[in-house]
Every structure is written in C-alpha cells, then in structure tokens.
C-alpha cells in the first residue's frame, strides 16, 4: 500500500498537457500538490454568525464550561487554530490586516455580525445550524487551465458581487507574496498579476461554480488551486462566499496557513446545511 501511495504521488506531480484541435491549452496538473494524510486528525470547527446578544449567550455557555474565550479583532482566520477551543471574530476584524482581501464580508449580509467558532457545538436557541469545517481526503478531479481561469472571472454574478476594493492591492501585498514564493517555490517564476487572477477566479468558482464534483446530483464546488494561488479562504470557510452550497471543499490560503496554522495545499470540507434532503452529501 505504501508503494502504491508513493507511485500515486509521483504520477500526480507530473505536468499534463492537453491538446484540443489546433489549440495548445495551458499546463495543468492533477493531484499536483494536494496532500492526503493524518496531520489534522479529528480537526473540526463549528461556526456561527450572530449578533452581540447571541455572542454574550455563547460566551456564557463556554464560560460555564471553564473554557477561555479569545476575541479576534484583526485577523479573522486565527479563530480556526486547532489549539483554540473557542473564540469569536469581532466585526472590525474584517477591516484589519486583510482589509482588501476580506472586503467581500463588509459588502455581505454578514457585515456588522459577530462570528463565534468552537471545537464543539453550541446547545442554544438560534445556534442550531452551524457551519462545520473538518478534515477531508478530497483531491480535485482536475484544475482549470489559464484560459479557464480567465473565463471564471468573466462570470456576471462574480462581477456583480465583487467589491471595488478587491481589484486594488496594496504594494505590500506583492512583497508579502513574493517573499513567500521565493522561500517555497524556488523552481517557479513569480507573476503577481497571474496570482491575483487566480485569486479572483477561485472566489468566482464558489459564486458561480464551473469546477465542482456532483454528489447525489448536487454540485459541490472546490478551490481551483493550491494555497499560494487562492486568497482569503476565510470567505469560503465562513460562508460569506459559496453560502448557497450545502457542501464545498476549500484549500486554506497562505494567510490561513501562516496565521491559523492550517496545512497548506490540503482541502478541508465545509458543511453548510444538514437539513432534511441533504443527508446524501455527507
């Protein structure tokens, strides 16, 4: 079995080239960097959007259990650390370190709400349907070509929902990605414009999915690239984007890898809805 795993890993890292008619499409790889393993055994988070009154009730319940509760007012994804038993994200956090990248939240129905995240479910009225984030062994059936990445960003629904701030990166962001790229992708050239396009296409795929798997006839969208080529994965983790899908598979962005200590290049399962009729998805 170990030999099969090693062979699969080697085969999965081979670049594949697809020719269609006279057109040479972009290189893409399947199972390229996506990891399967037990490094996050039993990881699970329960996430709830609530108002200030609901937050106070949640604090009271966890305080009664003797569990310390930390607040986050700068980097939303930090509440996803496996070491954190419970915590909350204040509204101002979405205007913090990742201000441009999380601008989608400030334009959403979740603006001004608090996000409560815990390692165990709440048993309070109004907290019956959490967003559940857990480990998975998912590997995408395929990833988009460069042409398909561009096509994703032409989606009308994506363009309608996109905040104006999203397309205006600060110079420090390029430096941040360039330094990370230099440390971790020594065999690839850095192209910030190409990276930003991939970031946009990834969000678009959760708004208007073109890359998904079908489970019991229902679309299950997934992140279209590895951690460096996706951005603000907290938007998908916390149902700010992709909220209409009962299930989705999300790769942590580099920010979530660095600040929440989630594993790079690995899909996590995000379960949105366990109501009657959706059981087959899980």
Position 270 in a domain: yes
Position 228 in a domain: yes
More confident residue, 126 or 142: 142
Angle between helices 171-184 and 192-207 in degrees, nearest 10 = 100
Position 122 in a domain: yes
Calpha distance 168→75 (Å, rounded): 19
Q: Confidence band (pLDDT; 50, 70, 90) for 62?
A: confident
Q: What phi and psi values does residue 76 have, to the nearest 5 degrees? A: -55, -40
- Would you call 123 helix, strand, or coil by DSSP? coil
Sign of the four-CA dihedral 53, 55, 61, 63: negative
| Full-model pTM | 0.83
Position 9 in a domain: no
Q: Is the pLDDT of residue 4 over 50?
A: no
Position 30 in a domain: no
What mean pLDDT comes out for the span 85-102? Answer: 95
Radius of gyration of the chain (CA): 19
Among the listed ranges 83-87, 178-182, 209-213, which one has the minimum average pLDDT value?
178-182
Position 8 in a domain: no
Q: Confidence band (pLDDT; 50, 70, 90) for 35?
A: low
Domain that residue 170 falls in: 36-274
Number of domains making up the chain: 1
Q: Is the pLDDT of residue 5 over 60?
A: no
Calpha distance 162→259 (Å, rounded): 25
Q: Confidence band (pLDDT; 50, 70, 90) for 274?
A: low
Place of tokens 């990891």: 35
Calpha distance 234→131 (Å, rounded): 12
Place of tokens 């690839």: 188
Position 183 in a domain: yes
Q: Confidence band (pLDDT; 50, 70, 90) for 9?
A: very low
130: number of Cβ within 10 Å: 19
Winning range, highest mean pLDDT, from 65-79, 97-111, 166-180: 97-111
Helix (H) / strand (E) containing 250: strand 247-250
Can you list the positions of beta strands (E) in 15-153?
19-20, 23-24, 44-50, 70-72, 86-89, 114-118, 131-135
Q: Confidence band (pLDDT; 50, 70, 90) for 21?
A: very low
Position 280 in a domain: no
């Amino acid at each position: 079995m170990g030999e099969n795993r090693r062979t699969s890993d080697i085969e999965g890292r081979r670049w594949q080239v697809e020719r269609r008619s006279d057109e040479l499409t972009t290189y893409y790889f399947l199972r390229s960097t996506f990891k399967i393993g037990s490094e996050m055994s039993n990881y699970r988070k329960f996430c709830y959007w609530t108002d200030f009154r609901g937050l106070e009730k949640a604090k009271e319940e966890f305080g009664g259990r003797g569990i310390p509760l930390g607040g986050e007012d700068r980097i939303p994804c930090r509440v996803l650390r496996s070491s954190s038993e419970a915590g909350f994200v204040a509204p101002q956090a979405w205007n913090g370190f990742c201000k441009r990248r999380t601008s989608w939240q400030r334009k959403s129905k979740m603006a001004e709400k608090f996000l409560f995240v815990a390692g165990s479910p709440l048993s309070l009225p109004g907290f019956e349907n959490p967003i559940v984030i857990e480990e998975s062994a998912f590997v995408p059936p395929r990833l988009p070509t460069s042409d398909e990445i561009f096509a994703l960003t032409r989606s009308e629904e994506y363009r309608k929902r996109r905040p104006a701030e999203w397309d205006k990166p600060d110079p420090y962001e390029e430096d941040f990605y360039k330094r990370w790229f230099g440390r971790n992708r020594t065999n690839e050239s850095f192209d910030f414009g190409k990276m930003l396009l991939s970031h946009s296409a990834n969000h678009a795929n959760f708004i208007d999915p073109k890359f998904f798997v079908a489970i019991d006839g229902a679309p299950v969208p997934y992140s279209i690239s590895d951690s460096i080529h996706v951005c603000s994965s907290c938007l998908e983790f916390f149902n700010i984007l992709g909220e209409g899908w009962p299930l989705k598979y999300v790769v942590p962005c580099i920010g979530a890898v660095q600040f929440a200590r989630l594993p790079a290049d690995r899909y996590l399962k995000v379960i949105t809805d366990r109501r009657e009729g959706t059981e087959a998805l899980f």
